[in-house]
Amino acid sequence: MPEVLFSHDPDRPMARQAVPGHNRFHPDVPPAATARPGQEFRIECREWTDGQIGDNDSADDVRNVDLDHSHMLSGPVRVEGAEPGDLLVVDILDIGPIPQETSEKGPVCGQGWGYSGIFAKVNGGGFLTDYYPDAYKAVWDFKGQVATSRHVPGVEYTGITHPGLMGVAPSQELLERWNRRERALIATDPERVPPLALPPLASGALAGAAEGDLFDRIAAEGARTVPPRENGGNHDIKNLTRGSRILYPVHVSGALLSVGDLHFSQGDGEINFCGAIEMGGFIDLHVDVIKGGMESYGVHRNPVFQPGRVAPQYSEYLTFIGVGVDHRDDTNLFLDATEAYRNACLNAISYLKKWGYTDEQAYLILGTSPIEGRIGGVVDVPNACCAVYLPTEIFTDDIRPGAGGPVYKDRGQVAVTS
């Protein structure tokens, strides 16, 4: 086990950890630790909401979650010698749930269990929030690398464990650009529910060891952690798993790497927003630096990565297609891959319901299982085409189409709100 550069007491909120983390991206968040190029180290991570969600049968905690406070990020780790224009090379050596056995308060999220939630529309919603505006939850049990849920019986999957969110600090100039362009977007429909984007917000801000004026400035300017941006961030790419190597463009001296929002398993798109199986846990990293790599490799904007070799293998899929039309009122959008993927997901839910899964169970299966979301065609005007590949091997019943037709079973329901 490599040296722990950022530790985590499962019984305390992030603000009261020995070295607290942060939840805003800003060039001036003080480093929590320093690593040398070539070093291996462990980072312990809190679950992204800082422990607001419990292992129980009510979705009230998901409905009431305070999102101003997320995501809990561990770090930043300063990497010696990394300077703007370099590429920071990050190898994911290992990743997993919290290995500690006990906690004063009983197992916290990541100690044998995780959860997945459908957020209420008033609280940001998810990919299908216009169809499913209320809050729901499923709790998942971990057995080795396999997840099962009492709230979604009949499925069992080998998780592609990964960090939902990892990234480096933006430069001041890049941060300002983000704030400018996101505010311009919000201005196009400032009253929208859910909002189009999330501007800087002092409420709930964490900035590591920053205090006084520095804290105030970070809280006032710091970028919210929800979207992925040029610095990496909330990619929610399930294949950033064990064995992956990521190359991040460096924007500030020391790179300032942060990580959090660990997922036990997730489908492409993380469609129910809090759609992965969320957990606290650890991630082991190795870092290195390619001097001047942004220019020499032409990696100017977003990170680039090489996936690892150990993602779980499935070989039988049932694939649902969608095209970029809003079928509710038959509005034809123009090469809209987002809508195409939404329709593919809705088509999958329609199918799964015939086997007894509720809408919410089916939605959560798509959010948490290792589905592949693929771009089909994005040039055949006006309709984009996307597809969701659902591995049929995750179901304990055989749900493939066949002579007999679907077999409907009562499968209960996910956790609902009171």
Q: Which of 140, 215, 341, 363 binds its own copies (CB under 8 A)?
A: 341
Note whether 106 binds its own copies by CB under 8 A.
Answer: no
Q: Which of 20, 170, 275, 281 binds its own copies (CB under 8 A)?
A: 275
- Comparing CB distances to its own copies, the nearer of 201 and 304 is 304
**Beta carbon of residue 129, minimum distance to its own copies (angstroms, whole number):** 9
Note whether 412 binds its own copies by CB under 8 A.
Answer: no
**Beta carbon of residue 91, minimum distance to its own copies (angstroms, whole number):** 7
Interface with its own copies (CB under 8 A), residue total: 127
**Beta carbon of residue 211, minimum distance to its own copies (angstroms, whole number):** 30
Q: Which of 201, 214, 321, 416 binds its own copies (CB under 8 A)?
A: 321
Q: Which of residues 81-100 bind its own copies (CB under 8 A)?
A: 87, 91-94, 99-100
**Beta carbon of residue 318, minimum distance to its own copies (angstroms, whole number):** 6
User: What are the CB-based long-range contacts (under 8 Å, 24+) for 295-301?
Assistant: 295/85, 297/87, 297/247, 299/87, 299/247, 299/249, 300/249, 301/230, 301/249
Q: Which of 152, 155, 325, 364 binds its own copies (CB under 8 A)?
A: 325
Q: Which of residues 180-219 bind its own copies (CB under 8 A)?
A: 180-182, 184-185, 194-198
> For residues 51 and 274, what is the distance between their CA atoms, to the nearest angstrom?
14
Residue 368 three-state SS: helix
> For residues 332 and 213, what is the distance between their CA atoms, to the nearest angstrom?
50
Q: Which of 52, 103, 145, 172 binds its own copies (CB under 8 A)?
A: 145
**Beta carbon of residue 314, minimum distance to its own copies (angstroms, whole number):** 6
- Comparing CB distances to its own copies, the nearer of 200 and 373 is 373
- Comparing CB distances to its own copies, the nearer of 181 and 409 is 181
| Beta strands, E only, 174-252 | 228-229, 232-233, 245-249
For residue 125, give every residue at least 6 positions away whose Cβ sits within 8 Å of its Cβ, in sequence order, or none: 119, 133, 194, 273
- Comparing CB distances to its own copies, the nearer of 19 and 290 is 290
- Comparing CB distances to its own copies, the nearer of 215 and 305 is 305
> For residues 284 and 360, what is the distance between their CA atoms, to the nearest angstrom?
34
Q: Which of residues 380-399 bind its own copies (CB under 8 A)?
A: 380-387, 389, 393, 398
DSSP letter string, 29-83: SPPSEEE-TT-EEEEEE--TTSS---SSSB-HHHHT---TTPPPEEEEEEETT--
Q: Which of 34, 190, 331, 409 binds its own copies (CB under 8 A)?
A: 331
> For residues 49 and 302, what is the distance between their CA atoms, to the nearest angstrom?
26
Q: For residues 28 and 216, is the Cβ–Cβ distance under 8 A?
A: no
Residues pairing with 33 in the sheet:
77
Residue whose tokens read 């398993």: 265
